[in-house]
Amino acid sequence: MIKPIGSDELKPCFVEDADQRQALAQEAESLPSITISSQAAGNAVMMGAGYFNPLQGFMNVADAMGAAEKMTLTDGSFFPVPVMCLVKDTAAIGDAKRIALRDPNITGEPVLAIMDITAIETVSDEQMAAMTQKVYRTEDPEHVGVAAFNGQGRVAISGPIQVLNFSYFKSDFPDTFRTAVEIRNEIQQRGWKKVVAFQTRNPMHRAHEELCHMAMERLDCDGLVIHMLLGKLKKGDIPAPVRDAAIRKMVDQYFPPNSAMITGYGFDMLYAGPREAVLHAYFRQNMGATHFIVGRDHAGVGDYYGAFDAQTIFDEEVPVGALDIEIFKADHTAYSKKLNKVVMMREAPDHVKEDFVLLSGTKVREMLGNGIAPPPEFSRPEVAKILMEYYQSLNH
């Protein structure tokens, strides 16, 4: 099985032992505490679940700058984005060395983790701008990821953490949320050797489904892990429970038994395009995938990134030997009326635009909202039904 990054075994920050966890939860109630940002909470969940292996806590400014500027921490290890706990001020914790981190995403802000503070530093405007530019390739405050990153505050609290729970992800998505440890175990139980991972924050249309089949066939994979983002999205994105139902229906109907696993992870989308694609590959290796599909405009938003920047970054910027996982570079897929099947557009050079069934996201949402199913070449009828019900519920 593919090795995790940076260690022979995963070292999740979640406290597995129930008694120890209980004792820490009790201790946390007497510790000075601070409510962290949603982004920091997502980072804590990812460290707790083993996805960010071998990270054991929040980065200090030197490590965060290294991750942003050259994807390398001060000790030489590889990590593609800063993983920070940024707050507006530290009045609530004073000069405490051990604190409780509270979860902003659950009513009552319960304790998510305990941290041993190694440093509290102020991030300068120049450092913040440099990190933003490197990770997001823009400092435009209209960029949803830039706004979220810069809106957290300028005080960085760093140090190792002990994670006590997985926020709302375990309770809200009991059938879907899985840690990297759990996914690795299941891949092993299923006897899969070659495993391709597919990232999604949307329901999967026919083109996505066929892309997964294509990747499995060409790579000769035993299994597919559909790994969906369950954290915060941008306005207008389809909520996770609806997406989950649509994907389950598709797998149930159109994938052979024991060929696809439906799972999810708890993290807020960064919309950082190429850099986020590298992060996606990083934690897919940690969860046991040998291959990862990177499509056109992967993890992008608006017009900030070129269509294939998220693929070229692996050849141009990722340090050699940093990742063992292999990238399956996909083009836009669409149904060809000429060939009566879904193809990668670059593999149909004799086609013109009119030869494909192409619908914009806006058009699809409009159709679904009006109770009109998109053509079966675009969306499976069973999947369209679930989405239509959701969109029509919005209109009532």
What secondary structure, in 3-state letters, does 163-209 show? ECCCCCHHHHCCCCECCHHHHHHHHHHHCCCCEEEEEECCCCCHHHH
Residue 103, pLDDT > 80, answer: yes
Using the 3D structure, point to which of 101, 134, 167 is the last residue of a domain. 167
Which residues are CB-neighbours of 196 under 8 A, at least 6 positions away? 212, 215, 216, 219, 221, 223, 224, 225, 289, 290, 291, 292, 293, 328
The answer to whether 177 and 169 are in contact (CB under 8 A) is yes
Q: Which of 21, 98, 154, 202 is catalytic?
A: 202
Let me know: does 174 contact 65? Beta carbons within 8 Å: no
pLDDT at residue 360 in the model: 84
> What whole-number distance in Å separates Cα of residue 39 and Cα of residue 83?
9
Instruction: Identify the pLDDT of residue 395.
Output: 79
Q: Residue 342: what pLDDT?
A: 94
Query: Is 43 one of the annotated active-site residues of the chain?
Result: no
Domain stop point among 167, 199, 220: 167
Task: Please give the backbone phi and psi of residue 309, each rounded to the nearest 5 degrees, phi first.
Answer: -60, -35
Task: Say how far residue 341 (Cα) sits from the centre of its chain.
Answer: 30
Tokens of 86: 């940024």
Residue 361's pLDDT band (cuts 50, 70, 90)? confident
User: What mean pLDDT value characterizes the chain?
Assistant: 95
140, 239: one domain: no
Alpha-carbon distance of 382 to 251, in angstroms, equals 11
Identify whether 1 is part of a domain. Answer: no
Instruction: Using pLDDT thresholds of 50, 70 and 90, give the confidence band for residue 394.
Output: confident
Residues 134, 189: one domain? Answer: no
Cα gap 231→119, rounded to integer Å = 28
Which pLDDT value is given to residue 320?
94
pLDDT at residue 235, rounded to an integer: 74
User: Same domain, yes or no, for 94 and 227?
Assistant: no
* 208 part of a folded domain: yes
* 225 sits in which H/E element: strand 223-229
Q: Say which range, 16-20, 138-142, 364-368, has the weakest mean pLDDT.
A: 364-368
Phi/psi for 150 (5° steps) reads -80, -15
Read off the pLDDT band of 47 (50, 70, 90): very high
Kindly report, residue by residue over 284-329, the tens digit of the pLDDT: 999 999 999 999 899 999 999 999 999 999 999 999 999 999 999 9
The answer to whether residues 86 and 159 belong to one domain is yes
83/160 same-domain check: yes
Domain count, the chain: 2
Do 205 and 345 lie in one domain? The reply is yes
> Are 234 and 284 members of one domain?
yes
**% of the chain with per-residue pLDDT over 70:** 99
Q: Is 191 inside any structural domain?
A: yes
Residue type, 8: D
Collect all residues with Cβ–Cβ distance below 8 Å to 93 and sequence separation of at least 6: 32, 33, 34, 99, 157
Average pLDDT over residues 256-275: 95
On the question of a cis peptide bond just before residue 54, with omega within 30 degrees of 0, the verdict is: yes
Cα distance from N-terminal residue to C-terminal residue, the chain: 50
**Domain limits for position 231:** 177-265+271-395
Confidence bin at 89 (pLDDT 50/70/90): very high
CATH code for the domain in which residue 58 is found: 3.10.400.10
Of 167, 198, 217, which residue sits at a domain end?
167
Q: Residue range 35-64: average pLDDT?
A: 98
- In sequence order, the 6+-apart residues with CB closer than 8 A to the CB of 299 are 199, 269, 270, 271, 272, 273, 276, 277, 280, 310
* pLDDT surpasses 80 at 43: yes
Listed range (79-88, 192-201, 235-244, 251-260) with the worst mean pLDDT:
235-244
| Mean pLDDT on 339-355 | 94
Task: State the pTM of this model.
Answer: 0.94
- 90: in domain: yes
Q: What is the mean pLDDT of residues 161-181?
A: 95
Inside any domain, residue 6: no
Q: Do residues 185 and 333 both lie within one domain?
A: yes
In a domain, 4, yes or no: no
What pLDDT score was predicted for residue 373? 93
Q: Across residues 248-261, what is the average pLDDT?
A: 96
Tell me, yes or no, whether 92 lies in a domain: yes
User: How many beta carbons lie within 10 A of that of residue 219, not counting itself?
Assistant: 16
Residues 138 and 206 in one domain: no
Identity of the residue numbered 184: R
Sign, CA torsion 270/274/277/283: negative
The CATH number linked to 227 is 3.40.50.620
Neighbours of 388 (CB within 10 A): 20
| Lowest mean pLDDT across 209-223, 313-327, 353-367 | 353-367
Residue 285: the pLDDT is 98
For residues 354 and 223, state if they share a domain. yes
Per-residue pLDDT for 232 more than 80? Answer: no
Same domain, 227 and 367: yes
Separation between Cα atoms, residue 273 and residue 302, nearest integer Å: 10
Catalytic entry in 201, 275, 365, 380: 201
Rounded to the nearest angstrom, the gap between the alpha carbon of residue 294 and the centroid of all alpha carbons in its chain is: 13
Whether 141 is covered by a domain: the verdict is: yes
Does 125 share its domain with 242? Answer: no
**Known catalytic membership, residue 296:** no
